[in-house]
């Protein structure tokens, strides 16, 4: 590879950028600076005590400079070896496969399951980098324990129906979206690793398989609408794969939906360009497989708006290829046969899971939504806060947490300017820009003002709350932005670019102050400093994009985009090895040991196995799931109405428990069972006696309370552990 000389200016830029990136990396290692930032010193505030701790924690740490050296070397190497990017592009699939193999071999993942260790004050031996995120409870406290319950379920591991959750047969595939031994897994390819790999390696297969495929697919998709511009396609890939909206919601359906949507469009474009019907068959089958996987995600809040984007992209591909497109009877036969196969599989799944589907559709929550949109005008520009959500504990925004505040960094409203320049100044009637602009306006209108009920119904948008649609709105805007920059015949003049950038950065800044004024009242100086930093960063990004990445400033633009991506997305989730760290939790170890002895009595008999966690909220109500113990009050995606009828035979409390819910069970001395709301749509509390627990089939109760005072005339307790801050009991019938 031929080396080239690089200018002193670029060397200075590489050094400064490497140091900035290293500081962010150090904050990632520390788990954020929220304590230092908002509670600096004994009196709190941005004072000298804060500054001393910040300097010591960031700049006097060896790993800050090790990372800076690595980042600087990488930047220098790519600069002096211009063929390196070409090499990476040529062998991108082999490189991706090698990275994937390494991750799976070592059992690496981004799970926040280490929060279990933190919750019980024990060391997390599996954490390699970063910090486990408490706010990612839907992953570490719900979906991962459910997966472990499947894996550790003895001879029934990965059964389609299992009683590990709720204590009665439960649909794990449709209801809980967990891996199962069934042909239905054809629509869950990223979960296939669970069926043949150890749990830690399978979790890695799932975690990094999705991330690597998302990166590859988004790059190929970017190449489609950037007319083969590799640099812009990489920018698109980074803005999608490491978007805050993707990384903060990583364990949810958003990753799969983006993969299947973009991949289907890429395959359809290649299908349209291919003249041989035989060579079209793999593309046809791939598109149909994407369609089946997309449908079986079953999350309409994101699916419905994404379908509109998909239809727009398909229309664009058809219009672009209409002159050369060939379609014959053989193509139709392949499509019909493929559709029949996919439809048959979906019907098989829907029939097998019909009871779960019926119960879920009749729940109070989520049940059947009917949204009319609107109410998100204040939240469209929250992406500007996203670049510091990984290093602060709280940010202004639409929700009380980082997940609800997470967005695609779509640079709204700047995303419209390149499109307008192309359409008006350059007079290019580009179909892609027109379609994306129309879709952006449609989704933006739904988010900001909403639709009348009849329009919400006929468009099916009633399935999608505006705070979920706004994420797809951002996805659409990124495509609009990148396409506009691709087609601009020349950059804007310096003055025009500067004025436009100032105006565009002013909109989100003013919006933040107007709608989040209370946030800036306390500890105003450090918060304003963060706000000012984001203003500077985005103003520069805006300006350099409108200058269309002029050759002399492209390195700075690349550095800023990498910085935004690194702070906003890459550092969201930790890097950890395996799932064995939970063995450090003594409470869990004892539950597992007692459960094993109960299920292996030695004489072939069965000594009961239904557990109940007393008086605990999420996540502790799911604690027994981590070792595969059957748990009555674990998080229920859909209710066991028959079992709950034992406690509520008249259905008096149906509206409280007929929902997706994190269940808190509280043992009381006497009285009739009763239910009450847990303060959120997905929580409820149920109170009942030990007699009721025995009627429910509960065999073991674990609690932080001494429950011996709750014994009744017919039901007693035998303590099974010797001491500690928690109690484990076996119920016994008193004759």
CA distance 37 to 47: 9
**CA 73-64-106 angle, 5° bins:** 80
pLDDT grade, residue 62 (50/70/90)?
Answer: low
Judged against a pLDDT cut of 50, whether residue 643 lies above it is answered with yes
In the prediction, which pLDDT does 534 show? 83
User: Angle formed by the axes of helices 8-30 and 62-80, to 10°?
Assistant: 140
Mean pLDDT of 168-184: 91
Between residues 645 and 323, the one the model is more confident about:
645
Give Cβ neighbours of residue 419 (< 8 Å, ≥ 6 apart): 433, 436, 437, 480, 481, 483, 484
pTM (2 d.p.): 0.92
Strand-pairing partners, residue 550, are none
CA distance 156 to 429: 59
Lowest mean pLDDT: which of 141-155, 188-202, 490-504, 623-637? 490-504
Q: Could you read off the pLDDT of 219-233 as tens digits, one per residue?
A: 999 999 999 999 899
Tokens representing 412 are 């709204």
User: Angle formed by the axes of helices 554-565 and 8-30, to 10°?
Assistant: 0
Q: Could you read off the pLDDT of 298-312 as tens digits, one per residue?
A: 899 999 999 999 999
CA distance 38 to 395: 12
Judged against a pLDDT cut of 60, whether residue 628 lies above it is answered with yes
Secondary structure class of 449 (helix, strand, coil): coil
Percent of the chain with pLDDT over 90: 57
Judged against a pLDDT cut of 90, whether residue 323 lies above it is answered with no
Q: How many other CB atoms sit within 10 Å of the CB of residue 720?
A: 17
Q: What is the DSSP letter of 297?
A: T
Strands 611-613 and 674-677: unpaired
The closest alpha carbon to 688, from 653, 655, 718, belongs to: 653
Using alpha carbons only, how large is the chain's radius of gyration in Å? 28
In the prediction, which pLDDT does 39 show? 46
CB 181 within 8 A of CB 159: yes
* CB-based burial label for 460 (10 Å; 0-12, 13-18, 19+): middle
User: Angle formed by the axes of helices 83-90 and 62-80, to 10°?
Assistant: 90
Tokens representing 345 are 């599989």
pLDDT grade, residue 7 (50/70/90)?
Answer: low
In the prediction, which pLDDT does 606 show? 43
In the prediction, which pLDDT does 43 show? 39
- Give the helix ranges, DSSP H, for 34-91: 34-38, 48-54, 62-80, 83-90
DSSP codes of every residue in 589-628: HHHHHHHHHHH--SSS------EEEBS--TTGGGGGGGGT
Tokens representing 608 are 């009961």
Q: How many other CB atoms sit within 10 Å of the CB of residue 651?
A: 12
Judged against a pLDDT cut of 90, whether residue 436 lies above it is answered with yes
- Cβ density class 214-239: b for 16+ within 10 Å, e for less: bbbbbbbbbbbbbeebeebbbbbbbb
- Cβ density class 302-339: b for 16+ within 10 Å, e for less: bbbbbbbbbebbbebbeebeeeeeeeeeeeeebbeebe
CA distance 593 to 624: 11
- What average pLDDT does the chain have? 86
User: Angle formed by the axes of helices 466-487 and 199-225, to 10°?
Assistant: 50
pLDDT grade, residue 69 (50/70/90)?
Answer: confident
Q: What distance lies between CA 712 and its chain's CA centroid?
A: 46
CB 149 within 8 A of CB 341: no
CB 717 within 8 A of CB 708: yes
Phi, psi of 683 (to 5 degrees): -145, 145
Place of tokens 């329009």: 455
CB 443 within 8 A of CB 476: yes
Lowest mean pLDDT: which of 121-135, 341-355, 420-434? 121-135
Mean pLDDT of 233-254: 94
The closest alpha carbon to 278, from 321, 220, 328, 340, belongs to: 328
Tokens representing 61 are 């740490």
CA distance 622 to 634: 5
Q: Could you read off the pLDDT of 26-58 as tens digits, one per residue?
A: 766 665 555 444 444 343 444 555 556 666 666
Q: How many other CB atoms sit within 10 Å of the CB of residue 510?
A: 11
In the prediction, which pLDDT does 143 show? 93
CB 730 within 8 A of CB 700: yes
Strand-pairing partners, residue 505, are none
Judged against a pLDDT cut of 60, whether residue 656 lies above it is answered with yes
In the prediction, which pLDDT does 41 show? 39
Tokens representing 692 are 């009721």
Between residues 382 and 427, the one the model is more confident about:
427
Tokens representing 409 are 């960094």
Mean pLDDT of 174-190: 93
CB 334 within 8 A of CB 281: yes
pLDDT grade, residue 665 (50/70/90)?
Answer: very high
In the prediction, which pLDDT does 549 show? 59
Q: Could you read off the pLDDT of 382-405 as tens digits, one per residue?
A: 888 888 888 776 666 655 688 888
pLDDT grade, residue 84 (50/70/90)?
Answer: confident
Secondary structure class of 351 (helix, strand, coil): helix
């Amino acid at each position: 590879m031929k080396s080239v000389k690089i200018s002193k200016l670029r060397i200075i830029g590489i050094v400064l950028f490497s140091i900035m990136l290293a500081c962010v990396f150090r904050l990632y290692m520390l788990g954020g600076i929220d304590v230092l930032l908002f509670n600096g010193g004994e009196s709190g505030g941005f004072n000298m005590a804060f500054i001393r701790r910040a300097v010591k924690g960031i700049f006097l740490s060896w790993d800050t400079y090790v990372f800076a050296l690595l980042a600087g070397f990488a930047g220098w190497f790519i600069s002096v070896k211009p063929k390196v990017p070409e090499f990476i592009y040529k062998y991108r699939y082999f490189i991706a496969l090698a990275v994937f193999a390494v991750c799976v071999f070592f059992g690496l993942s981004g799970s926040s399951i280490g929060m279990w260790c933190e919750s019980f004050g024990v060391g997390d031996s599996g954490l390699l980098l970063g910090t486990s995120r408490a706010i990612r409870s839907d992953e570490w406290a719900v979906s991962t324990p459910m997966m472990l319950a499947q894996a550790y379920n003895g001879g029934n591991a990965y059964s389609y129906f299992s009683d590990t959750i709720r204590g009665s047969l439960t649909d794990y595939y449709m209801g809980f979206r967990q891996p199962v031994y069934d042909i239905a897994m054809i629509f869950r390819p990223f979960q296939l690793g669970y069926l043949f790999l150890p749990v830690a390696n399978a979790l890695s297969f799932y975690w990094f398989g999705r991330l690597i495929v998302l990166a590859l697919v988004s790059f190929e998709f970017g190449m489609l609408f950037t007319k083969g511009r590799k640099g812009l396609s990489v920018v698109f890939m980074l803005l999608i794969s490491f978007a805050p909206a993707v990384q903060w919601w990583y364990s949810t359906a958003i990753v799969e939906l983006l993969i299947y949507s973009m991949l289907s469009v890429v395959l359809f474009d290649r299908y349209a360009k291919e003249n041989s019907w035989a060579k079209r068959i793999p593309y046809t089958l791939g598109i149909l497989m994407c369609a089946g996987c997309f449908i079986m995600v079953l999350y309409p809040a994101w699916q419905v708006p994404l379908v509109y984007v998909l239809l727009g992209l398909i229309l664009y591909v058809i219009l672009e290829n209409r002159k050369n497109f060939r379609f014959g009877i053989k193509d139709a036969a392949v499509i019909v046969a493929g559709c029949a196969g996919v439809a048959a599989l979906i019907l098989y799944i829907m029939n097998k899971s019909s009871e779960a589907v019926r119960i879920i559709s009749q729940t109070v929550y989520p049940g059947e939504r009917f949204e009319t949109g609107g109410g998100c005008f204040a939240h469209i520009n929250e992406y500007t806060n996203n670049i510091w959500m990984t290093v602060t504990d709280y940010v202004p925004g639409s929700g009380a947490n980082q997940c609800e505040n997470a967005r695609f960094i779509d640079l709204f409203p700047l995303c419209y300017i390149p499109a307008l320049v192309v359409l008006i100044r350059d007079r290019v009637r580009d179909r892609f820009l027109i379609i994306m602009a129309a879709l952006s306006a449609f989704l933006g209108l739904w988010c900001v003002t909403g639709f009348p009920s009849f329009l919400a119904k006929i468009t099916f948008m009633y399935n999608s709350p505006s705070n979920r649609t706004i994420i797809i709105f951002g996805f659409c805007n990124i495509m609009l932005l990148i396409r506009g920059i691709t087609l601009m015949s020349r950059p804007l003049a310096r003055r025009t670019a500067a004025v436009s950038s100032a105006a565009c950065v002013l909109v989100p800044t003013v919006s933040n102050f107007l709608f989040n004024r209370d946030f800036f009242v306390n500890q105003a100086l450090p918060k304003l400093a963060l706000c000012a930093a984001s203003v500077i960063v985005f103003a520069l990004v805006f300006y350099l994009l409108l200058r269309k990445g002029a050759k002399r400033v492209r390195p700075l633009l690349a550095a800023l985009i990498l910085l935004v991506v690194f702070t906003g997305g890459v550092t969201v989730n930790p890097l950890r090895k395996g799932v064995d760290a939970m063995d450090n939790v003594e409470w869990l170890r004892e539950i597992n040991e007692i459960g094993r002895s109960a299920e292996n009595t030695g004489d072939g008999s069965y000594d009961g196995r239904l557990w109940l966690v007393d008086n605990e909220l999420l996540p502790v109500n799911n604690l027994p799931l981590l070792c595969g113990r059957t748990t009555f009050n674990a998080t229920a995606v859909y209710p066991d109405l028959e079992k709950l009828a034992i406690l509520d035979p008249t259905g008096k409390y149906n509206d409280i428990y007929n929902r997706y819910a994190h269940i808190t069970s509280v043992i009381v001395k006497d009285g009739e069972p009763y239910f009450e709301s847990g303060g959120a749509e997905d929580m409820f509390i149920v109170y009942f006696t030990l007699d009721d627990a025995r009627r429910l089939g509960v065999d073991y109760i674990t609690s932080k309370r001494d429950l011996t005072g709750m014994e009744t005339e017919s039901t007693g307790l035998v303590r099974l552990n010797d001491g500690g801050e928690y109690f484990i009991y076996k119920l016994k019938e008193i004759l």
